[in-house]
Amino acid sequence: MPDAQATSHPAEHDPVLADTGRRTFVALGIGALGACYAGLIGYPVYQYLATPARKAAAQGMVTQAVLDGADQLPPGSSLMFKFGTTPAMLIHHTDGTWVALGAVCTHLACTVSYEPEQSRIYCACHGGVYDPKTGNNVAGPPPKPLTRYNVEVQDGRILVTKA
Ligand code: FES
> Is the shortest distance between the CB of 132 and ligand 1 below 6 Å?
no
Distance 127 CA to ligand 1 centre (A): 7
What confidence tier does 54 reach under pLDDT thresholds 50, 70, 90?
A: confident
> Is the shortest distance between the CB of 108 and ligand 1 below 6 Å?
yes
Ligand 1: which of 104, 106, 107, 121 to mutate, judged by most atoms within 8 Å of the beta carbon?
107
**In this structure, are residues 134 and 88 in contact, taking their beta carbons and an 8 Å threshold?**
no
Which atom of ligand 1 is least distant from the CA of 105? 2
Residue-level pLDDT at 1: 46
**In this structure, are residues 120 and 132 in contact, taking their beta carbons and an 8 Å threshold?**
yes
> Is the shortest distance between the CB of 140 and ligand 1 below 6 Å?
yes
Q: How far is the C-alpha of 142 from the C-alpha of 30, rounded, in Å?
A: 55
Beta strand extents in the chain (DSSP E only): 64-68, 77-83, 86-92, 98-102, 113-115, 120-123, 128-130, 137-139, 148-154, 157-162
> Is the shortest distance between the CB of 124 and ligand 1 below 6 Å?
no
**In this structure, are residues 127 and 144 in contact, taking their beta carbons and an 8 Å threshold?**
no
Residue-level pLDDT at 8: 58
Does the pTM of the predicted model rise above 0.85? no
- Taking only the tens place, the pLDDT of each residue in 87-124 is 999 999 999 999 999 999 999 999 999 999 999 999 99
